[in-house]
Amino acid sequence: MAQIPATSSIESVSTEKRVFAPPKAFSKTAQVKSLAEYRKLYKESITAPEKFWAKQAKQELVWSRPWKKVLEWKEPVAKWFVGGQLNVSENCLDRHLGTARANKAALIWEGEPAAEDRPGERRVLTYKQLHHEVCRFGNVLKQAGATKGDRVLIYLPMVPEAAIAMLACARIGAVHSVVFGGFSAQSVADRIFDSQAKLVITADGGFRRGAVVPLKQNVDAALELKNAQGELLTKSIEKVVVLRRAGNEINFQAGRDLWWHEEIAKASANCPAVPMDSEAPLFILYTSGSTGKPKGILHTTGGYLLYAKLTARYVFDLREEDVYWCTADIGWVTGHSYVVYGPLANGATSLMYEGAPNFPEADRFWSIVERYGVTTLYTAPTAIRAFMKWGVEWPKKHDLSSLRLLGSVGEPINPEAWIWYYETIGGKRCPIVDTWWQTETGGIMISPLPGAIPTKPGSASLPFFGIVPEVVDDAGRPVPRNSGGKLVVRKPWPGMLRGLWGDPKRYQQVYWTEVAGSYFTGDGCRQDKDGYFWIVGRIDDVLNVAGHRIGTAEVESALVSHQKVAEAAVVGRPDDLKGQALVAFVTLKSGVKVDPGLQDELRQHVAKEIGPVAKPDDIRFAEALPKTRSGKIMRRLLKQIASGAEIKGDTTTLEDLNVLAKLAAPDE
């Protein structure tokens, strides 16, 4: 485990002193109106957590059977609302139908233009229409053989059908596993193998900056992949449902493949929501860890939905008339909790956008904000830094006065980007919520409540109701204020992961052994004198590149699987735009010469093995990797080399890193 830096590189004392009081106009109508009110509610939530959560669960969710026990906690296994039954799709859709929300927009969708000179498609689905589509697709899934408990892999672009597919799974009790469209055939196959999915839902292709991403072709390739013993990885797959989206030619395998539009045309709209056990699996979402293949994070029904709903309402101060836009892809947890489940459970209008922020031009986001009157924008620091770089002329072209709240997620936001977001996009009138959380936590854990909690640029501020985070040392003792430590969570919460799919040992080992009795987040952190949390970033071998979580071990094994590579070590270096960039140090098999095309060949190889998101930014070739006497790669030294020295223009020379290793401490 790497050493914990005492202070974050993203803040300085001067910014810490800069405190932004919640705008008065905002506080007047906010859900929580003052810091004192927040403190009172927070105190209640942690002194009598079961009472607090029981009250919320009763108020917020529709249950088909009441629970017998609020919490059963046998570390590390939590069960919330034990014995209760409910259905997530019923809570997101049916419950709004008898109300004035029935004809309100549930999803507003803006598509990516198929070419620079064509407008993107636009669609609006009211709660009634969305319910209709979800019911019909639920019947398609049943017809294709999916029943309660079966796993369904979703590999779609950001189109309304992605949300429809998720909600249809929830409706019939199937467990979805969404795979981001930027992942490769190999990644799809690995996830099918691990989850033993029965169905795949995909599209012919998706649009990205005028090009077509060949999703169906990737699925076809995935379905051919074998393990080292020559067995198919994807034997569990029975059917592939294909959405017509990009219109590109595909290979259609009769008997196995089904067209979405053909099947749904035949399907009835009568699909009763299956009452599910509160602890029944809702979804599996794979995410990178510090070792091995991605882990299947498991979230269940009652606790997850309650937590997603409550955090969405309080953190985004959701109001009936809001046009709420979370720009995350549905392939990540942010898309699950804050594009689909959180907003819909609240009866909000959730905007979904298919494509890139700079296609056809760099004002794409701002034209969408203006056209739909977006009130709440939730995006990532990487995007904000890119907007800064592209220049103020792009947002200035548009009327952004509809915005009333801004959010940030996925990585630390540097104060400079925070201030730019606040001034240029928010016109100094919109509070910013910097939300810290993880795939594992199911929902937002540390964030300002707008209108109540004063903000400091670069700090996620204070914990949400019921959350007890702490910064501790290696022995698990709380560290004094202003010292660095490991961020842990002391008490279970309803949105927490329930385990790793099929691997209870790894679950225990990754999250519950580092600091005894606490959930270990993998993040380094510091609390300032006011109790504000300042996240430093990952302290394990996981990198955060442009808000995407990437395990160095995964990229290393992808590199080593290339026939020319002997050994690889991957580290992060700071990057102005992406937060962190991936640097790979590679040694080649004997006799292999470095040629100018090799870097690109290896980058493409990683894209094929994992996906374009994991392509190293730099690849440096070395004679040998610096190692300690016990044979461990000296990562700290590599990190220094990666972030310090300029990359040599001549990529055909091998670096002798062992010389440097001798200068460093012999044992890390």
Interface with ligand PRX (CB under 6 A): 287, 333-334, 409-412, 434-439, 460, 521-523, 535, 537-538, 544, 549
Asked if residue 239 lies in contact with residue 202, where contact means CB atoms within 8 angstroms, the answer is no
Task: Kindly state the smallest distance separating residue 393's Cβ from ligand PRX, in Å.
Answer: 28
Between residues 259 and 512, which has the closer beta carbon with respect to ligand PRX? 512
* Residue 431 burial class via C-beta count within 10 angstroms: exposed 0-12, middle 13-18, buried 19 and up: buried
Q: What does the alpha-carbon distance between residue 642 and residue 620 come to, in Å, rounded to a whole number? A: 9
Per DSSP (E only), the strands in 278-334 are: 281-287, 295-300, 323-326
Between residues 460 and 661, which has the closer beta carbon with respect to ligand PRX? 460
Torsion of CA 77, 83, 85, 91, to 10 degrees: -60
**How far, rounded to the nearest angstrom, does the alpha carbon of residue 591 sit from its chain's CA centroid?**
42
Task: Kindly state the smallest distance separating residue 428's Cβ from ligand PRX, in Å.
Answer: 21
Number of Cα atoms under 13 Å in the Cβ half of residue 342: 27
Between residues 362 and 571, which has the closer beta carbon with respect to ligand PRX? 571
Asked if residue 626 lies in contact with residue 659, where contact means CB atoms within 8 angstroms, the answer is no
State whether the Cα torsion 634-640-642-646 is positive or negative. negative
Task: Kindly state the smallest distance separating residue 337's Cβ from ligand PRX, in Å.
Answer: 8
Number of Cα atoms under 13 Å in the Cβ half of residue 626: 23
Q: What does the alpha-carbon distance between residue 148 and residue 141 come to, in Å, rounded to a whole number? A: 11
Q: Is 562 helix (H, G, I), strand (E, B) or coil?
A: coil
Asked if residue 361 lies in contact with residue 331, where contact means CB atoms within 8 angstroms, the answer is no
545 strand-pairing partners: 548
Task: Kindly state the smallest distance separating residue 254's Cβ from ligand PRX, in Å.
Answer: 38
Between residues 184 and 439, which has the closer beta carbon with respect to ligand PRX? 439
Task: Kindly state the smallest distance separating residue 580's Cβ from ligand PRX, in Å.
Answer: 10
Task: Kindly state the smallest distance separating residue 412's Cβ from ligand PRX, in Å.
Answer: 4
Between residues 125 and 614, which has the closer beta carbon with respect to ligand PRX? 614
Number of Cα atoms under 13 Å in the Cβ half of residue 284: 24
Between residues 217 and 441, which has the closer beta carbon with respect to ligand PRX? 441
Residue with the two structure tokens 């045309």 = 265
Residues whose CB falls within 8 Å of the CB of residue 117, separated by 6 or more in sequence, listed in order: 360
Q: What does the alpha-carbon distance between residue 34 and residue 22 come to, in Å, rounded to a whole number? A: 9
In one-letter notation, the amino acid at residue 598 is L
Task: Kindly state the smallest distance separating residue 287's Cβ from ligand PRX, in Å.
Answer: 5
Residue with the two structure tokens 């319910």 = 131
Task: Kindly state the smallest distance separating residue 602's Cβ from ligand PRX, in Å.
Answer: 25
Q: What does the alpha-carbon distance between residue 313 and residue 245 come to, in Å, rounded to a whole number? A: 33
* Among 423, 424, 391, 426, residue whose Cα is nearest residue 406: 426
Between residues 347 and 537, which has the closer beta carbon with respect to ligand PRX? 537
DSSP state of 339: I
Between residues 222 and 333, which has the closer beta carbon with respect to ligand PRX? 333
Task: Kindly state the smallest distance separating residue 96's Cβ from ligand PRX, in Å.
Answer: 26
Burial state string for 119-147 with b = 16 or more CB within 10 A and e = fewer than 16: ebeeeebbbbbbbbbbbbbbbbbbebebe
Task: Kindly state the smallest distance separating residue 611's Cβ from ligand PRX, in Å.
Answer: 14
Between residues 90 and 411, which has the closer beta carbon with respect to ligand PRX? 411
In one-letter notation, the amino acid at residue 665 is A
Between residues 11 and 161, which has the closer beta carbon with respect to ligand PRX? 11
Task: Kindly state the smallest distance separating residue 380's Cβ from ligand PRX, in Å.
Answer: 8
Between residues 72 and 575, which has the closer beta carbon with respect to ligand PRX? 575
Q: Which two tokens stand for residue 342?
A: 């959180």
* Among 154, 167, 152, 156, residue whose Cα is nearest residue 199: 152
- Name the closest residue to ligand PRX (Cβ): 439
Task: Kindly state the smallest distance separating residue 20's Cβ from ligand PRX, in Å.
Answer: 16
Task: Kindly state the smallest distance separating residue 579's Cβ from ligand PRX, in Å.
Answer: 9
Residues whose CB falls within 8 Å of the CB of residue 122, separated by 6 or more in sequence, listed in order: 108, 109, 110, 111
Between residues 140 and 535, which has the closer beta carbon with respect to ligand PRX? 535
Per DSSP (E only), the strands in 41-198 are: 69-74, 77-82, 85-86, 105-110, 122-126, 151-155, 175-178
Task: Kindly state the smallest distance separating residue 487's Cβ from ligand PRX, in Å.
Answer: 8
Task: Kindly state the smallest distance separating residue 291's Cβ from ligand PRX, in Å.
Answer: 16
Between residues 45 and 287, which has the closer beta carbon with respect to ligand PRX? 287
Between residues 264 and 496, which has the closer beta carbon with respect to ligand PRX? 496
Q: What does the alpha-carbon distance between residue 21 and residue 272 come to, in Å, rounded to a whole number? A: 48
Task: Kindly state the smallest distance separating residue 179's Cβ from ligand PRX, in Å.
Answer: 14
Between residues 334 and 382, which has the closer beta carbon with respect to ligand PRX? 334
Q: Residues in the chain, how many?
A: 668
Q: What does the alpha-carbon distance between residue 157 and residue 179 come to, in Å, rounded to a whole number? A: 10
HEC readout, 410-472: CCCCCHHHHHHHHHHHCCCCCCEEEEECCHHHCCCCECCCCCCCCECCCCCECECCCCCEEEE
Q: What does the alpha-carbon distance between residue 351 and residue 573 come to, in Å, rounded to a whole number? A: 34
Between residues 354 and 411, which has the closer beta carbon with respect to ligand PRX? 411
